[in-house]
Structure 1
């Protein structure tokens, strides 16, 4: 696994340098207070952990209801800096949801430590929870992972994860909400 982590760092080093030079926006601080998170959900009439109706809002509508940092990642495909997100290094049991719409994305049992600086999962909650599209935005071929309900950018999918899937869903913490299991 250390070889994969080293490869991940080498692979993304040019991206980090590119972003550090100001050529691409990035979310600088993905830590949100619970008060800010709760107030953003209260203002977002589309946020639901149970409604799976596809959403088709305009960019202006999303901008009105999402906190700026969530908007930049979810709607503009920005990336938070590695090792700064609130979920990259946690092992609490629970469920991860889309921060923009509340769609169920992952269970904590599918989370693993990839040492790449972002939360990583080997399997999505169900086949419709996340959809994919090709992404050649930084001069390399990647697969973008999008929320299956609202189409918000979550991160990317790679083929270097653990068994049983061999997949690594590399997600932005700011694009996720987490609800711990009841004790």
Structure 2
């Protein structure tokens, strides 16, 4: 059954065949983070200093996860956002690894690891989505959104606010 987010995106998980094809496009570093819940080193991610107008999409399945307007400099070494593109696009999962209790963030469509959520962000949400650069693909506003699942979906035009 097809599931749609409030913003109109298909949230139906990839089939086993679609998933294999998507995973085959990943670099070893991307696979380590997205599939094995790894973390890239701080202050070295390619999107840390990205400031252009656009959307940050899941690197695995291309679902829009964050807007450039919600990105902020947290000083942590990873891209940080105070709100998702659509709350239905980011899944929160309790993470007790490494002797800590944290909230892991995953793509709601493909379940790939994105990063973690912390309650120390700026207003208006006081949230900090601390995300790995390799988990994301930046799409400038002037470029059509990718459709890695190639389902023939008509993707909604990205909103600018």
TM range (shorter): 0.7 to 0.9
Q: Distance in 1 between matches of 2:16 and 2:71?
A: 30
Q: What is aligned with 1:75?
A: 35
- 2:98 pairs with one of 113, 138, 142: 138
Quickly say closer, same or farther: Cα 1:56–1:128, change in 2 above 3 A: farther
Q: What is aligned with 1:54?
A: 13
Which digits, 9 at most, give the CA deviation of each residue in 1:38-89, with x for residues without a partner?
A: xxxxxxxxxxxx643222538x926434222211110001100000001112
TM-score (norm. length: structure 1) = 0.68
8 Å Cα contact 1:119/1:171 also seen in 2: yes
How far did residue 161 of structure 1 move? 0.2
Q: Distance in 1 between matches of 2:14 and 2:32?
A: 18
Aligned residues: 133
8 Å Cα contact 1:155/1:170 also seen in 2: yes
Alpha-carbon RMSD:
1.9
Which digits, 9 at most, give the CA deviation of each residue in 1:105-155, with x for residues without a partner?
A: 011000000010000000001121100111111111100000011000000
TM-score (norm. length: structure 2) = 0.77
Moved over 6 A (4+): none
- Which structure has more relative contact order (CA 8 Å, sep 6+)? It is 2
What 5-or-longer segments of structure 2 have no aligned partner?
A: 1-8, 144-161
What 5-or-longer segments of structure 1 have no aligned partner?
A: 1-49
Which structure shows the higher helix fraction?
1
Radius of gyration: which is bigger? 1
